[in-house]
Structure 1
């Protein structure tokens, strides 16, 4: 039995604990500056100071230290766009010629790379000229190697290092990319069952069957499940042949005709040089689009599926799940809020929801962006006006630095950025498309940060693109569109299904890139601008690599062959994997000392 004295002691202690608990919550709430977007920082960089390549004239004098690429071809616009964008990101000039015969003799300062369209070499004289370029030390890239051309030119087959042409076309079961071509390690794309094939297999499995000979190195091969073909006889898809002082690369298929080609070109460049250093963004974004909504517009369906109102589903189910997954994967959330979906149903947004989520975002280190999507009822201009009036009525002073919009509407949105609600927008996010560059200025002072992956879909092609862009840019923007959750059409649109897919994808496919920084969209905005605007020059003397940066210091990736960093000056570094480092330049002049990797020998006891 508890005595009165002990009873009163327990009551007093419980009262004190309750007071302390409530007091701490009140203090936490009072100190939450939820109306301030501390992720937003005006960098001062805009398109007027964006890096542009100097004109490259091979008939004149090419200065020592110049970086440039030669593109030869006039038919494949997709390939040309890829090479041009890669040159912009790596700060290379580009000289263009329609045919090999049009290209003048290479100057003493060799190009970083020569990229050839499949139709740019027509004669034996063209092949002989390409061989001379390679023997001088140039790196040559043959895109979309055609069997029909090879069959007519034995010299071309020798130049590419092809020992045997087995078939003009054969069907493979998947592909394998060997380690150190992309960052993230070796990867195999081959379905093990019908479900995996249905969900993930979207690669072209009909390829020519070339077998390279001795002296070549293969980076990507086709796999042939259920056959006894030896590994060395598998169809080669990307390989290189050593010719004189240079290297000749062959790419089968149209892998260079999209944004995936950017990382492939970086992988090829790495293989042509003793070391490679190139600028990157270093930003990993998780963009949650059309979440949260502040109006309970679809309560009947939500009650049937989740036994809650629509705003209740957002608060009690969706938000805790998003926080858990972002924490588990060390990612930061950028949530593109949508006050309401439907502007005709008479249901208005709830101001309490706005305050609740702004406080939640502040507590977990997330950022609020603004979604410009809607279902129906008004024009885009009217939507912005009505949403602006809602925020103003709540005396909300939160500055939205990021906006999401469908790619087709970007031009229209740029004309509305003077509206008060959008006046602070510095970055626009859109779904992935090949119609625009992944990173670019889409307006005078507005950056486009395209989504690189859909969070609930991860096909083989999408994974290949992700690895390529991570290797080339140290950048990803994973997009999770929540509109289907609010307005489901099938059972596949339920939160449980979507949560299982996107949490599994993040846990599985992004682990190899944990060395890059987690950012919100406004945080990565500053890094993207520095990346687009900066220039650099670098040279090596002995073991010392010296680099001078013009513009704001940023991030670089250093890739080597059997060397590692001994010391740096003016920079910090993080090892990503064998032969790859992330460099954070802190000053405009950086030096990196390299050394041979130490070898360890283990003797049997």
Structure 2
């Protein structure tokens, strides 16, 4: 028989258990209902403007030769030099030999070359420089002069313009594995792999990194080594000469091609990367009841219910399949001309759920109405003032507005803290740039809903150059569909396919846009030099903060150990280096070396 005292003790214990569970639920709700952006203060302290750099004599120096320094092609070469921390100078005319001798690397942009330039090209080659030609002379000029052709490693012209059915990029040229782009491949559904290229036969002593694919190769009697070369290296006089023989590599892909070339220059090549892959979910969460009639017709739900009940779980599941980048750019409304007031009914739900992931939230300036920037800023300022007065948004999606028009705008209190502006890439843009007041501009280089040949080429090249990929996923298309393709079941299917393209880069980090921003600021502020030594390399850095990332390319060498760094193998010829101090030593061991026979007997060099 249980006494009254024991009943009382049991009651107290049950009450305490009940209270603890209730308190845990409430506290979880309160803590995760994040009315403040906890990532706002997690930022890089180093400054690009105030950085210290090594002297030009200590660094690799590059001369850029371009017919016009204002072209997109010339600016891209400057951008690549900045990312690699090279000291560079732009020239729009030929440079005296004694001056060019002060450079290590010569980058030829859209400089129009003819056979009359042979003498000066050979004089440069005699200096022992690395020479990269991003655009070859005209086919007619090359085949008309054997000496001019020989400079580029060309033995003869085969055909002025041949249609290649696809492209093959060999493994170990970039961080990705071998890429074969042809009709029926798994890079999208479009037949977009055919290219027209000048077809050359190369002289002996070359290395080819990409070729054109011919479906009728066997019928034509062409061996694999005779396929149309697209990227190659040859030796002319005392210099390495690298050539790009297709416009398909123009623009952003050239960043990765240039880095790939440099990795073929010697037995060891080290370069800095950002190491940040992100996915930005745009126009979501969505706080409006706009276009309800269309949503009811398609999904039998209101716009708010579609956003919360239909989209949320699907978005989170796809993001989890990709990795751990949970970055959302909220949209209070999309039609700024409509009278519908933005709603914050589910704001607490979204803040709580995003915090649980854990994720982060920025603001979207996207719109479907013919609305000026001032109206969008005013309405968003009002929404933030009423609903998120203490959140401290620091990241923004510019949509079709120019980032430089938004940066440093002191007229709106809740937009003053913006320090990262994401936007779409247009030709001539820098992937990474600084705007007024130190605001960072970063461009998207992938669309989550499509992955055709050129999308994949752009992705692997940016990954190779920067260890970075920024994917945009526009949820606004669901709320304002233009065709059946914009229905969520179709969009989600296309988006979910994309995680397979990241497998080659699984050793690189998938991060939030806030972490990406911090890493980019450190990357841009960093300066470094490295020295090849008998047992490895020593890396010295300036403006180092907490960590820095590099890719080390080695040939016939492997990493044995490292001081002040973590090392992870990326491929047979590349290693990811995470520097933990301003000075790092990496010890290498040579591979493919014949060991001394165990019986101590040797074979004479000239046996009788």
Which residue does the alignment assign to 1:584?
578
| Contact residue 440 and residue 532 of structure 1 kept, 8 A | no
The alpha carbon displacement at 1:21 in A equals 6.5
- Please state how far the C-alpha of 1:508 moved relative to its aligned partner: 1.8
Question: C-alpha offsets along residues 409-467 of structure 1, whole Å, 9 cap, x if unaligned?
Answer: 32321253552221221100001222310011022310011101111111211111111
User: Where does residue 208 of structure 1 map in the other structure?
Assistant: 198
The residue correspondences of 1:279-290 to structure 2 (distance < 5 A) are: 279-290=272-283
Whether the aligned pair in 1 keeps the contact of 2:282 and 2:473 (CA below 8 Å) is yes
* 2:124 pairs with one of 114, 133, 140: 133
Change beyond 3 A, Cα 1:202–1:49: farther
Q: Determine if contact 1:290/1:338 at 8 Å carries over to the other structure.
A: yes
Task: Render the CA deviation track for 1:159-201: whole Å, top value 9, x for unaligned.
Answer: 22223321001111010000111111110110128xx898444
SS of 2:98's equivalent? coil
Is this contact kept in 2: 1:274–1:560, CA < 8 A?
Answer: yes
Residue 95, structure 1, aligned to residue 89, structure 2: yes
Secondary structure of the structure 2 residue equivalent to 1:302: helix
Is contact 1:545–1:591 with CA below 8 Å preserved after alignment?
yes
Q: Say whether residues 1:474 and 2:467 are aligned partners.
A: yes
Tell me, yes or no, if the aligned pair for 2:33 and 2:348 is still in contact at 8 Å.
no
Moved more, 129-138 or 144-153: 129-138
Query: Which residue does 2:601 correspond to in 1?
Result: none
**Equivalent in 183, 188, 191 of residue 180 of structure 2:** 188
- Contact 1:549-1:588 at 8 Å conserved across structures: yes
Quote the Cα distance in structure 1 between the aligned partners of 2:386 and 2:345: 12
Instruction: Identify the residue that residue 6 of structure 2 maps to in structure 1.
Output: none
Secondary structure of the residue aligned to 1:49 is coil
* 1:521-532 matches, cutoff 5 A: 521-532=513-524
- After superposition, the C-alpha distances for 1:305-340 in whole angstroms (9 at most, x for unaligned) are 112111111112211111111111213121110111
**For 1:289-328, what aligned pairs fall within 5 Å after superposition?**
289-328=282-321
Superposition pairs of residues 45-194 of structure 1, within 5 angstroms: 45-49=46-50, 63=57, 65-75=58-68, 77-100=71-94, 102-105=95-98, 110-111=103-104, 113-117=105-109, 119-124=111-116, 126-145=117-136, 146-192=138-184
Q: Give the alignment's TM-score, normalised by structure 1.
A: 0.89
Identify if the C-alpha distance between structure 1 residues 380 and 110 changes in structure 2 by more than 3 Å, giving closer, same or farther.
Answer: closer
Distance in 2 (CA, whole Å) between partners of 1:498 and 1:181 is 33
Contact (CA 8 Å) 1:47, 1:443: kept in 2 or not?
no
How far apart in 2 are the matches of 1:68 and 1:136?
A: 14
**Bigger Cα displacement from structure 2, 399-408 vs 129-138:** 129-138
Separation (CA, whole Å) in 2 of partners of 1:14 and 1:342: 53
> What are the superposed Cα offsets for residues 501-539 of structure 1, whole Å, 9 maximum, x if unpaired?
11102x221111111112211111111111111111111
Choose from 226, 233, 244 the match for 1:233: 226
Residue number in structure 1 paired with 2:7: none
Q: What does residue 341 of structure 2 align with?
A: 348
Tell me what 1:39 maps to.
39
Q: How does 1:421-460 map to 2 (within 5 A)?
A: 421-460=414-453
Q: CA deviation at 1:255?
A: 4.7
Residue range with higher mean Cα deviation, 319-328 or 168-177: 319-328
Gaps of 5+ in 2: 1-12, 596-608
Evaluate the alpha carbon distance shift between residue 96 and residue 411 of structure 1 in structure 2; reply closer, same or farther with a 3 A threshold. Answer: closer
SS of 1:361's equivalent? helix
Instruction: Classify 1:31/1:600 alpha carbon distance in 2 versus 1 (closer, same or farther; 3 Å).
Output: farther
Q: How does 1:391-402 map to 2 (within 5 A)?
A: 391-394=384-387, 396-402=389-395
Q: State the secondary structure of the residue aligned to 2:81.
A: helix
Change (3 A) 1:523 1:158: same
- CA 1:52–1:167 in structure 2 vs 1: closer, same or farther (change >3 Å)? farther
Q: Measure the CA separation in 2 of the matches of 1:442 and 1:203.
A: 37
SS at match of 2:528: strand
CA distance in 2, matches of 1:47, 1:96: 22
1:562–1:37 distance in 2 versus 1, CA, 3 Å: farther
Q: How does 1:357-368 map to 2 (within 5 A)?
A: 357-368=350-361
The alpha-carbon distance between structure 1 residues 199 and 75, as it changes in their structure 2 partners (threshold 3 A), is farther
Aligned-residue CA RMSD (Å): 2.8
The size of the alignment, in residue pairs, is 576
Distance 1:352 1:119, change over 3 A: closer
Q: Does 1:224 align with 2:214?
A: yes
Structure 1 counterpart of 2:404, from 406, 411, 428? 411
The aligned residue for residue 538 of structure 1 is 530
Compute the displacement of 1:106 (Å).
Answer: 6.1
Q: Deviations over 1:215-265 (max 9, x none)?
A: 111101000113313211110011111234421111112355412111111
TM-score after normalising by structure 2: 0.88
How far does residue 38 in structure 1 lie from its aligned partner after superposition? 2.5
Q: Give secondary structure in 2 for the equivalent of 1:577.
A: coil
Once the 2 structures are TM-superposed, how far is the Cα of residue 578 of structure 1 from its aligned partner?
A: 1.4
Q: Which runs of 5+ in 1 are unaligned?
A: 1-12, 55-61
Closer, same or farther: CA 508–46 of 1 in aligned 2, 3 Å: same
Indicate if the aligned counterparts of 1:99 and 1:121 stay in contact, CA closer than 8 A: no
Asked if 1 retains the 8 angstrom alpha-carbon contact of 2:365 and 2:398, the reply is yes
Native 8 Å contact 1:51 1:532 kept in 2:
no
Please name the residue that 2:605 is paired with: none
1:48–1:444 Cα contact (<8 Å) kept:
no
Q: Distance in 1 between matches of 2:14 and 2:199?
A: 77
Task: Specify whether residues 296 and 128 from structure 1 end up closer, same or farther in structure 2 by C-alpha distance, changes over 3 A only.
Answer: same
